[in-house]
Amino acid sequence: MKAFILPLLLLGLGGTTVSAAPPSRIDTRQTWTASWWSSELQQYGCKPVIFVFAKATFEPGNLGGTIGPSLSDGLKSVFGVTNVATQGVNYYGLAEGNYYPGGAPPWGIYDMQAIITSAAACPHSKIVVSGYSQGAAIVHRAIEGLPAATRSRIAGVATFGDTQTLQDGGRVKGYPANQTLIICNSGDIICTGMLWPLFPVHWDYVKWVPTATLFLAQAVLAANEADPWPTNSTGNGNGSTSAFGGDLEALGGELGPGVTRRAPVPTRLVAFPDIPPVETGIGS
């Protein structure tokens, strides 16, 4: 039953009840992502960046304990803690969900669509979406089923250990390939459409979080060129409200192989010869 509560609450956020906090106001309750749960869009309303994440099979909470919290904090390290609203998708993450048509359970698809629809009601907010394993399948099915106007509000998508990589041709159907990053480790058979056996390489994706952070940060900045945040609408999360300058050198940590902060991230990092990587990226 819990899986259906959040969508109803989020749908209630639409319209005038979702509003951006005044630029000078810092909500001290919003902080780094320290748990398996995050519902900051529901709790705090519109923020300059809205991050929607679907966890992997068997992961706890609505955010999981691996990619979700790490990627959330990566984005917060770039744009400021109080400028990013991280919202996890509420679904049970049972193994059986992988066997639904399209590899995703309907309630997970519905919940992600409800979250993105609510986020799209936020003026000037930049929406980025990600998912891991079964959560990646939810990303595919949710985004392809959105109305075009809502889908166009999504600035960038990044998936990890994507169960739908081969089936969907290495992209999210109906969504621009140059705004999509699909990361699959070499040897991860999940990305070839097989669900069994699971090898340890399928759980080795945290190392790619800096690359995905950079990619999504680039996507946010590209979207901001077309629809700028109001002046002084973003700060550094420490009380300052000076406009974010877009300096990606603020992104710390080690990036993925062959990626620099100044170079565009390839739209796919798929380590299989039958799905050749695309070398174009945001800013290329």
Residue of 70, 72, 133, 233 marked catalytic: 133
Half-sphere exposure of 160 (CA within 13 A, CB side): 27
- DSSP string of 183-205, one letter each residue: EE-TT-GGGGT--SSPPGGGG--
Question: Which H or E run contains 154?
Answer: strand 154-160
Residue 26 within a domain: no
Report the pLDDT value the prediction gives residue 284, as an integer from 0 to 100.
33
Whether residue 68 lies inside any domain: the answer is yes
140: in domain: yes
Q: Is residue 282 part of a domain?
A: no
Q: How far, in Å, CA of 41 to CA of 90, rounded?
A: 13
Q: Is 114 within 8 Å of 10 (Cβ atoms)?
A: yes
Q: What is the pTM of this model?
A: 0.77
202 carries an active-site annotation: yes
- Is residue 28 in a domain? no
- Pick the catalytic residue: 70, 72, 202, 233? 202
pLDDT of 73: 93
Q: Residue 157 region, left (φ>0) first, then alpha (ψ -120 to 50), else beta?
A: beta
pLDDT of residue 120: 97
User: pLDDT (tens digit, 0 to 9) for every residue of the chain, 284 residues total?
Assistant: 333 223 322 333 333 233 333 333 444 467 777 679 889 999 999 999 999 999 999 999 999 999 999 999 999 999 988 899 999 999 998 898 888 999 999 999 999 999 999 999 999 999 999 999 999 999 999 999 999 999 999 999 999 999 999 899 889 999 999 999 999 998 888 888 777 666 678 888 999 999 999 999 999 999 998 999 886 544 434 333 333 433 344 444 444 444 444 544 444 444 333 444 433 343 33
- Amino acid 97: pLDDT: 87
Q: Could you tell me the residue range of the domain that residue 171 belongs to?
A: 35-270
- Is 22 within a domain? no
SS3 readout for the chain: CHHHHHHHHHHCCCHHHCCCCCCCCCCCCCCCCCCCCCEHHHHHCCCCEEEEEECCCCCCCCCCCCHHHHHHHHHHHHHCHHHEEEEECCCCCCHHHHHCHHHCCHHHHHHHHHHHHHHHCCCCCEEEEEEECHHHHHHHHHHHCCCHHHHCCEEEEEEECCCCCCCCCCCCCCCCHHHEEEEECCCCHHHHCCCCCCCHHHHCCHHHHHHHHHHHHHHHHHHHHHCCCCCCCCCCCCCCCCCCCCCHHHCCCCCCCCCCCCCCCCCEEECCCCCCCCCCCCCC
Q: How far is CA 88 from the centre of its chain?
A: 9
Check 70, 125, 188, 233 and give the catalytic one: 188
> Crossing angle of helices 209-226/67-79, nearest 10°?
50
The CATH number of whichever domain residue 256 belongs to comes to: 3.40.50.1820
Q: Is residue 173 part of a domain?
A: yes
Asked if 188 is an active-site residue, the reply is yes
Compute the Cα dihedral for 268, 224, 85, 246 and give only its sign: positive
Q: Report the C-alpha gap between 260 and 283 in whole angstroms.
A: 13
Q: 210 to each of 15, 23, 26, how far by Cα in Å? A: 34, 28, 26
In a domain, 19, yes or no: no
Instruction: Find out whether 138 and 88 touch, Cβ atoms under 8 Å.
Output: no
Domain tally for the chain?
1
